[in-house]
Structure formats: C-alpha cells, structure tokens
Amino acid sequence: TLESVAAEDVIVYYQITYALADVPDDVAYFQAHWRRSNPLPYQQVHTLLDGVRGQGHYVGTYIAWGVNNSGWWGEGEIKFYMDGDTTWPTICGTGTEDYFGGAWNFDIPGKGYTVFSTPYLGLNQVTQPDGLYRSQQRFGMYRWHIMDPIRFATDLHVTIQALGWRSGRRYLALQDDIASTAFWYQNATSSITPPPLDADTLEVI
C-alpha cells in the first residue's frame, strides 16, 4: 500500500517489472514493515517487528537513528524472539555497532565516525551536527541476513535497545529517534497492522 499524508495531491511515477512463470504453492511472500519511535520512551525498547505468525525467514534490517544525547549511543542489543520465546530470545546481539559491523563505536582513530558499505552490512550514512540549527547526530545502518539466515517456524518478534554509558560504566537508557524497516519472507501474507501515520509523525526535525 502506498499512502500520502500530504495536504496537496502528489504525482507518483512507478514501474513494475515481472516475469511469467509457474509459482509453487509453498512459495514465501516478501514483506517489509516500517516503524518509528520518536522519542523512544524511557527504558523501553524499539520494536522492529511484532505479531508475525507463521513460518518464515528474516532477511534484513535498516535503521535510521537520531541521537538525542551526547556521548556513545550504540550499546543496545538486538533481540530475536522466535518460536514461543518469552523472557529470553533465541538470538541476542552483543551491541548495536556489532550487529551492523562497526565494532568500537564505528570509530577510525583520528577520523571519528566513518561510513562504510559492504554487501551484507554497513554504516552508510553519518549526518554530523553543524552546532547551530542541527544539534543531533544521525546515522543510517543496514544488515542483510543472506549468509546468516534467521529462520522461524511459528512466530517472530524483533526488538533493539537504545543504550549509552553513564559515569562509572553504568548503562544510560536513551530516548532517541529510531526508525526501522524489517524485511522477511513468510509462508503467508502479513497480518500486521501498520501504525497510523501523519505528517508530524514522519517529519524529521
């Protein structure tokens, strides 16, 4: 579904490329789901995906992350709850920067945050503040699970924490602006209802 929340009419140009072929009855449907937490409620996790029921294969994550604090922001774990998991996830990451392939906070000594891009993961965007009207740093990151598939049999729920550091090496729960798109294949069309959107929700300020 394509939806515009603009006050004026919008012209959309598109192209559909397709092939005619026999499709097996058990073919999986490619699906994507977008969510935004702005700001993320204090001590809460950002949910990338919830309510997925059925068999499938999680294939990728894109996150646009706006940092609202000074200091480090990428200590949170991504967690994949699947096939009946409740308290403990089947897969628990070791940190946001590790999941996206940028250990030691994406920092190249002497250069600071540094963009990089590989076939399966990367930090493709770093928007630095100008110190005047744009005070927050923003990052774009992706991870494609092609070589390391995440397969589920009955259900899937994906979250990520937003954590930095306080003094004394204590965790700092962040209230950042996090937007994500999750990509997966499933043996049925999704029953997930997207959250209602309006211009204020979508605007990046």
Domain ranges of the chain: 29-202
**pLDDT digit string, tens, across residues 15-63:** 999 999 998 888 999 999 999 999 999 999 999 999 999 999 999 999 9
pLDDT at position 109 is: 86
| pLDDT (0 to 100) of residue 178 | 97
Q: What is the pLDDT of residue 135?
A: 77
Its pTM surpasses 0.85: yes
Q: Quick one: tokens of 38?
A: 């702005």
Angle in degrees, CA 123, 178, 135, rounded to 5: 80
Mean pLDDT value of segment 164-189: 94
Distance CA 77, CA 96 (A): 6
Q: How confident is the model at residue 194 (pLDDT cuts 50, 70, 90)?
A: confident
Model confidence at 75: pLDDT above 80: yes
Q: Give CB contacts under 8 A, 24+ apart, made by 93-97.
A: 96/141, 96/160, 96/161
The tens digit of pLDDT for each residue in 140-159 reads 999 999 999 899 999 999 99
What's the mean pLDDT in 122-150? 90
Is the CB of residue 43 less than 8 Å from the CB of residue 181? no
As assigned by CATH, the class of the 29-202 domain is mainly beta
Cβ(164)–Cβ(75) below 8 Å? yes
Q: What is the DSSP letter of 84?
A: T
- Give residue 205's pLDDT band: very low, low, confident or very high (50, 70, 90): confident
What pLDDT is recorded for position 6? 83
Q: Is pLDDT above 80 for 160?
A: yes
